[in-house]
Amino acid sequence: MRSDELVLPARATDRSADGHAGDGTVALVANVLVEVVATVAVSTARGARPLVRAVSPIAGPVAGVVLRPPWIDRRFWPETQLRRYAERGRARGMAVQRSAAQLGSAGIPALVNAVLDQIDLTRLVLERVDLDAVVASVDIERIVATLDIDAIAARLDLDAVAARIDVGAVVDRVDIPAIVDRVDIDAVAARVDVAAVVDRVDVLGIARYVVEALDVAGIVRESTGVLASETVSGVRMRAVDADERVGRIIGRLLGRSGGQGLPTVEPQ
């Protein structure tokens, strides 16, 4: 049997189409069997060397005469023939191995694809694989430890994420009264710097507005004594008016303007 006959069985099939196909196949098989037997025999003989050595004092001469008859030419010794068959079988075995490897590399992918096409692999995994056990065997902590969370966060577009958040819906789900009930208002108030707050308030401006709105000056005048009464104020106002008139008259007589331009004097 030649190596190409094993590698390309189709050729053998093609050749079997003619009339010599059946004989060739039988001869091929017989030849292979003989070679295999010879190979096995030689290998067995090699493996049996210790035994042979043990019985060699007795069987050795006999075997030597049988395998190497002295009266026959060396080319026709049985041993020579057996060695030839063994060499041929070894070569054929290697060729068979090479052919099988070539056949596998070419045919196995196609075969595997065909098998996979016939199988629902997902379902098969779900039915046959214990995914919980697989997941349980994964060391999540070690995987997380190898991640650079900062780098991942830096790549995120937080503005876009925030724009997609419905803040109103989030707030609607918050129980604000319950949160307020949990706040210790007294503790918060105790931490407030009231003096600093008052310093920032225009107390004088507020008081001035209130005084003007309520006419506190008028109330004070009404509640003061006799000298500040309406009578005294009337006398004073009449005197002031008289001063102004006299001043204007005398100023006109003297050829100057009235007392409107008199400087004010701040008593201290």
Partner 1 sequence: MTVQNGDSPHPDANTDLGLTSVPKAARAFQTRPAGIVSRLLAAVANFGVIVVLGGATYLGFAGAVFLWSPRNAHFPHVPRAVILATAAILLILYLSAAWTTSGRTFGDQLLGLRVLGPRHRRMHFALALLRAVICTFFPIGLFWAAFSPARRSVADVLLRTSVVYDWVAHVPEDD
Interface contacts to partner 1, rule CB under 8 A = 195, 198-199, 203-204, 207-208, 211-212, 216-217, 220-221, 224, 227-228, 232-233, 235-237, 239-240, 242-244, 246-247, 250, 254, 256, 259, 262-268
CB of 192 to partner 1, least distance (A): 16
Q: Give the residue among 1, 6, 31 at the shortest CA–CA distance from 97.
A: 6
**Measured CA distances, 158 to 154, 166, 224 (Å):** 9, 14, 70
Nearer to partner 1, 84 or 236 (CB): 236
Q: Tokens in use for 185?
A: 């208002």
Nearer to partner 1, 112 or 219 (CB): 219
Q: Which residues contact 92 (CB under 8 A, 6 or more apart)?
A: 1, 3, 32, 35
CB of 220 to partner 1, least distance (A): 6
Nearer to partner 1, 46 or 208 (CB): 208
CB of 245 to partner 1, least distance (A): 8
Nearer to partner 1, 125 or 250 (CB): 250
CB of 250 to partner 1, least distance (A): 6
Instruction: State the helix-helix crossing angle for 49-67 and 21-47, rounded to 10 degrees.
Output: 120
Nearer to partner 1, 4 or 222 (CB): 222
**Measured CA distances, 176 to 115, 180, 181, 186 (Å):** 62, 6, 9, 18
Nearer to partner 1, 65 or 239 (CB): 239
Nearer to partner 1, 165 or 265 (CB): 265
115, with CB counted inside 10 A (0-12, 13-18, 19+), is exposed
Q: Give the residue among 77, 112, 98 at the shortest CA–CA distance from 3.
A: 98
Q: Tokens in use for 62?
A: 């006999």
Q: Tokens in use for 205?
A: 């401006």
Distance CA 221, CA 235 (A): 15
CB of 180 to partner 1, least distance (A): 32
